Chains A and B, each alone.
Chain A
Amino acid sequence: MSVFTIEVFLALAGMVLLLVEAFFPKIPFKTLGGAAIGSAVLAFVLYLGCSKETSSLPGFVSAWHQLDTLALFYKGFALVTTILVLWLLLICAPYLKRFTVDGKFGEMLALPLIVCAGMMWMASAKDLVTVFVSLELVTVSFYVLVSATRKSVVSLEAGVKYLILGALSTGILVFGIAWIYGATGSLSFEGIAAACTQTGSNKTALLFATAFLLAGMGFKVAMAPFQMWVPDVYQGTSIPVTTFLSVGSKAAGFIVLTRLIDALTVQGSLIRSEVVLILVGLGSITVLVGSLPAIFQTSVKRMLAYSSISHAGFLVLALACRDSVRFDLSAGGIVAFYLATYLPMTVLGFLGLAIVRLQGQGEEIQDFTGLAKRSPLLATMLTIAFASLAGLPLTAGFLGKMFVFVGMVDQGWWVAITCAVIGAAAGFYYYFRIILAMFSPEPNEAKGSALQLGASARILCVALGLVILILGVYPRPLQKLLAPAPIAAQQAAK
């Protein structure tokens, strides 16, 4: 069985579930959800077992499909994210029922499978056309997901904002693709890289195309100055979809950015220094416009949205560190590493928020007051998650940030380092504010009743908390996954 078959299976499973939901409205959501999670888990198991050789792909696919280390990593990442989001959707079912028409949300269970297939295709894309098609598969599904909780006005508002800005960014991206084709005569990453090194290429045209491509992708990954939609959309839509946007959509954007930047800044590229400069500048700004407003948020969800922008900034900075020879990981590998550590902590943070929200409390920081009394387990696990998001040593979040900082110090980008330090310091403040709230005594005794934690939520909480701690002290397997051969061996091979 090839990887491609699994992707087709996922997309088909999503469509079948959509039809089942439409024609058999009596089927309870638990059955649908079980089928969705079952398909995703089955796909993941098959994925672990299937052949990872390019030769295993059907002939017509291998023209636009590659299976390198990064592609394989991001495919697994997409599957894990989808399983976690579906799990989160089931935990949030009571809330979703309240805000969907007739209490039905079958499409929210089916669409993540299609999104997952899109993200998996995107990970192996060899040319911009494949990127564009799979990106649209993901984005269009997200338009539906964001506004699926239709009885909630803020969700509709979020849906409209996401739709308009998403469509605009798609337009910009296509314009960029057209220009890059004009400038290089190729749509494949290989062809673009080759054209970038040719002395005869038109540098201005290349840069013009790059600007539009970066703007288009900037929307998807929440890079400044294209991050404006993030707080409103993240806050408006339901928590599982926010999680999906924050992890899945961001990872999908970054695999494309990684491939694109790798091609544009290939050794000897005419526009290498310019592209790196643009990335450093935008990354620094992104860190600041994410983390500084986060300090002033009173809503935890909105705070997490801003913090997600700040993390995108760190990821862009990681991508900018092209020449770092310090690590066994390439720039794209560091981005992948950062995202892999970002996944458990973000999902755990949003899960905690969902549980607090489901108990009838709001999403404000004050609703977290006294959580340690009401549910010591949840408070402990959330402490781990937020400490990791802040980048405390011994948690998963530390190493990714450390790679970025070391990479920047090597390049001597002191202005960018200053911005990143400010961002990280602000992060410590706004994440620890929630931890402090959780451990302060609840002033209002009436609200201090014990918090009900279902078995599945409890398992998910503890599992994610453990993953954060284990990755924090033993990240070696993850590094091995991203860099099967150490750099020393690669250099020896050359």
Chain B
Amino acid sequence: MSLLEIVILLPLLAAIAIASGAQARITAVTASVINLAIVIWLALGFGAASRDADGYAYVFKRIMLDNPSIGFGVGADGVAMVMALLTVLVTFAAIWQIVDKPASYYTASLLISAGALGAFLSTDLFFLYAFHELALIPTFLMIGLYGHGDAAHRRAVAWKTTIYLGAGSLVLLAGLAWLVLEYSGGGRLTFDLMALRAQAASAPLDAAKQAPIFFILLVGFGTLVSLFPFHSWAAPAYATAPTPIAMLHSGVLKKFGLFGLIRIALPLLPAGATTPWVQQALIWMLVGNILVMGFVTLNQNRLDDLLANSSVMHMGYLFLGIAAGTQVALNGTVLLMFAHGISIALLFALCGRMRNQLGTLEFSKLGGLASHAPFIAVIFAFGAFASIGLPGLANFAGELMIFIGCFQFADPLKHAVLDAGGFGPLQWAAVAGLWGVVISAVYMLRAWRKIFQGSATSGLFMSDPLRGQRLPLLVLTIVLLVCGCFPGILLGLLKAAFGAAKVAAL
């Protein structure tokens, strides 16, 4: 039994315990704190742990079937380690901030956490996919059962999310199946990521085959990450979902799609990623995320809609990093995935609190709340600034690295440059992305001003949380600040992921 297995199983066991009658809050909080402690401990020991050729530490495998080769394998490379840290941090905050809710809030949060951890830490495609599906089911149920708004509205949103994500998962499944079949070469099927990587290094597929598989994976994973134009489920889902679910899905689970592209699609199909038509399609889609969704977000007049849409918009930057594909850009992408997860979870936690206390989130009815709740005002400012990408907060480092990566023509990881040395589509997309930062600044600062400044509307009242409820907010804020000032903490974990060994292999 390896520690990574325990990390995955613990939330599952806690969920089962709660379902069979254990005291919900104590069980859930205990499980999340233990998980947080284990993952931090593993991350601290990560540098010294023994690695295999692909940079995976803590590798452990139980064979389930010999042929086709399926096994419950766990292991963490730098990317998975960062994602696991993100998951346990957000899980801790999301579970801690639940107050006076039915036990199913706790079970659903734990199940989503277990699914996300399983998906990030599995080294077997079968389990990776299955764990993500496991996390989606409670998401749908919670939106449908306890979402905001009237019953018809939340049911409609739940169905829309289910259909979009279900269809996206099926496309993804088709892509993964095709990938596995092609790499098996008519012989034994293997779902083991390491075996597939070894095969991709020794006997890669032709570029002509890689391109369509990569594109299918891009659409499948992309739908899960709300890549434009497959994004329209995301904003209503996050605006409707109960607070812990919105935090966990937008903060953690959504990153699964990007994680899959970075860990499965890019290393196994390197030539597919750089095929011109695939790159061009990706660039058009991500510019859609940044610009179209940026303008859509500008136009929102409710806080929850604004946050939900901004979350869709910021996915554009992450796809930009993947499109660039250079070492610096990929490191930046993972950093930004972490930072975005923490900042959006923080903002959704605050938004949920405001909804409970104020009863409305329309900007026209809000104002002057900084005098009621100075603590909330300050924390919200940190979340908003991080989301914009101000220096000193974690998102800045990630975005900066992605932009630099887009202009780094002589990177050894970037195999086929579309526009050798010139100013091509990727660079134009980066320029559009830079303007996107301005759009973010406009809507986030405007939202902060409308909620917290000006004269208080009569009848509105909001208080700062009691000391115990400040903890999750403080933890997330401190993580944003620390990782913003010292991004080296996370980059140190990522060192081997896209490091020298990988470059040599390519």
Contact = CB atoms under 8 A, between A and B. Distances in A.
Interface of A: 325-328, 376, 380, 392-394, 399, 405-406, 409-410, 439, 473-476, 479, 486-487
Interface stretch (B43-51, B79-87, B184-192, B211-219): B184-192
Interface of B: 19, 63-68, 72, 126, 129-130, 133-134, 141, 177, 181, 184, 186-189
Nearest to A326: B189
Given A394-B130, A473-B72, A410 B186 contact: yes
A247 B372 CA distance: 67
Contact of B126 (A380, A393, A487): A393
14 contacts: A325-B186, A326-B67, A326-B187, A326-B188, A327-B67, A328-B66, A328-B67, A393-B129, A406-B177, A409-B181, A410-B181, A439-B141, A476-B64, A479-B65
Contacts of B133: 392-393
A487 B63 contact: no
B169 to A, nearest CB: 11
A388 B339 CA distance: 38
B28 to A, nearest CB: 19
Contacts of B68: 326-327, 406
Contacts of B177: 405-406, 409
Contacts of B63: 476
B220 to A, nearest CB: 15
A475 B67 contact: no
Contacts of A487: 67
A475 B66 contact: no
A380 to B, nearest CB: 8
B134 A479 contact: no
The secondary structure that dominates the A interface is helix
A409 B176 CA distance: 14
A406 B186 CA distance: 11
Nearest to B16: A380
Contacts of A392: 133
Nearest to B166: A428
A486 B66 contact: yes
* 5 closest A-B pairs by CB: A393-B130, A328-B67, A394-B130, A476-B65, A327-B67
B67 A486 contact: yes
B126 A326 contact: no
Nearest to B173: A393
Contacts of A380: 19
Nearest to B145: A439
A406 B181 contact: yes
A473 B184 contact: no
B108 to A, nearest CB: 13
Nearest to B133: A393
A409 B174 CA distance: 11
Contacts of A376: 19
A343 B374 CA distance: 62
Contacts of B186: 325, 410
A137 to B, nearest CB: 36
Contact of B66 (A405, A409, A474, A476): A476
A428 B186 CA distance: 30
A394 B134 contact: yes
Contact of A474 (B19, B64, B141, B187): B64
Given A393-B129, A473-B72, A476-B63, 4 more contacts: A410-B186, A479-B66, A486-B67, A487-B67
A406 B189 contact: yes
A394 B19 CA distance: 20
A457 B159 CA distance: 35
A120 to B, nearest CB: 28
A374 B42 CA distance: 44
A406 B68 CA distance: 10
B64 A473 contact: yes
A466 to B, nearest CB: 13
Nearest to A439: B141
A378 to B, nearest CB: 14
Nearest to A398: B130
A399 to B, nearest CB: 8
Nearest to B178: A409
Nearest to B189: A326
A486 B133 CA distance: 32
Contacts of B181: 406, 409-410
B65 A475 contact: yes
B329 to A, nearest CB: 33
A326 B184 contact: yes
Contacts of B184: 326
Contacts of B129: 393
Which of B63, B66, B141, B184: most chain A Cβ within 10 A? Answer: B66
Contacts of A406: 68, 177, 181, 189
A394 B129 CA distance: 10
A433 to B, nearest CB: 13
A323 B386 CA distance: 58
A328 B130 CA distance: 23
Contacts of B188: 326
A63 B21 CA distance: 60
A121 to B, nearest CB: 32
Contacts of B64: 473-476
A409 B186 CA distance: 11
Which of B19, B130, B187: most chain A Cβ within 10 A? Answer: B130
A475 B69 CA distance: 12
B385 to A, nearest CB: 41
A474 B126 CA distance: 13
Contacts of A325: 186-187
